[in-house]
Amino acid sequence: MSESYTSSTIPMGFTPHHDPGAKHSLEPRTPQGSDEDLEGSPIINCMIAGGLGGMVGDTSMHSLDTVKTRQQGLAHNIKYRNMIPAYITMFKEEGFFRGLYGGYSPAILGSLPSTAAFFGTYEYSKRKMINDFGVNETVAYFFAGVFGDLASSVFYVPSEVLKTRLQLQGSYNNPYSGSQYNYRGLADAIKTITRTEGPGVFVYGYKETLFRDLPFSALQFAFYERFRQLAIYYNQADELPISTELFTGAAAGGLAGTLTTPLDVIKTRIQTATPQEGADVSKGSVATLSTIKALRSIYKQEGILGLFSGVGPRFIWTGVQSSIMLLLYQVSLRKLDSYFHNGFA
């Protein structure tokens, strides 16, 4: 593994114009590369590698996301209270594809463009802040993550609505839903939701999703930076073993996911709720729920455990997905850079 893939906190194939060792006492000083190395990988390569890593990570962990969504969307349901029994129950009652992998189609269709947009925006804004404006690296990583999430939210928020609706089919699984219909698939879900609730439903919970994901990305990147600095310090090497790379990514993602679980619960409740019979759906009454009101309501009715419902699956999901995505991103980016460099040399 070349130095340009390990010197950055988030391995983006980019080395800042200045020496990162001057600002991080724990990170060993690394030699400067060539002028080509300093420019980093082409943005398009970052987008392709990011999209691939995101798709594989989301695919591998989708069943766990379904368990988490069931736990959050249906309070006090003993069927889904514990993770392993929830897996068994869903598999027996609904099968693998309709149950555990319900909502997979919109999830994966949203994953590719959203992660591509995230990594492209993240890499571009990070380079601009560090190289052109001399922003502190940690601050640059923090705000680059925010900008990346803002860009990717255009794709993943509508897909999140469809995914969670298909994971929580009607009032059988979700008491907050007044709808009795079940969707035959993705196309039927889009048609039915548009006809019965209006197209505005696809951005329900947009604000709540951003409230969840912006802090998550900021915390994830901050934790990953610190963990990786410590790993490099104790290993006394710029290049870390794959096992260590996986662990640092998993620890950062899992910890950030745990801390932002209450925001994830609120997002799930709002996005999967539908107006009760007789409600004025044209005004999107469900969407008027504020984050603070939802937070107070859940805490009052369910206590602190309600706010952290699904925390176990979320911890595992965010941890494993983060480690898989970041590792595949590094590998894919190296392959792409090598292929295009050799192809056009």
Q: Write down the pLDDT at residue 173.
A: 58
- Angle at CA 316, nearest 5°, toward 227 and 323? 45
Which of 227, 232, 212, 131 lies closest to 164 in space, CA to CA? 212
d(CA 100, CA 46): 31
> CA–CA distance from 74 to each of 64, 149, 174, 236 (Å)?
16, 28, 5, 48
In a 10 Å sphere around its CB, with 0-12 CB exposed, 13-18 middle and 19+ buried, how is residue 285 labelled?
middle
Tell me, which fold does domain 43-274+281-344 have in CATH? Mitochondrial carrier fold (1.50.40)
Residues of the chain with confidence (pLDDT) below 70? 1-39, 74-77, 170-182, 271-290, 342-345
Q: Write down the pLDDT at residue 6.
A: 32
Q: Write down the pLDDT at residue 210.
A: 87
Instruction: Show me where the domains of the chain are located.
Output: 43-274+281-344
> CA–CA distance from 64 to each of 71, 88, 166, 221, 312 (Å)?
11, 12, 15, 23, 10
Which of 101, 102, 106, 103 lies closest to 159 in space, CA to CA? 106
Which tens digit of pLDDT belongs to each residue from 10-21?
Answer: 444 454 444 444
Which tens digit of pLDDT belongs to each residue from 132-160?
Answer: 999 988 888 888 888 999 999 999 999 98
**Alpha helices by DSSP H, the chain:** 35-39, 43-73, 83-94, 104-127, 137-167, 170-173, 186-197, 206-235, 242-259, 261-272, 291-307, 311-344
Q: Write down the pLDDT at residue 168.
A: 82
d(CA 294, CA 291): 5
| Whether the model pTM is above 0.85 | no
Q: Residue 54, SS3?
A: helix
Q: Write down the pLDDT at residue 121.
A: 95
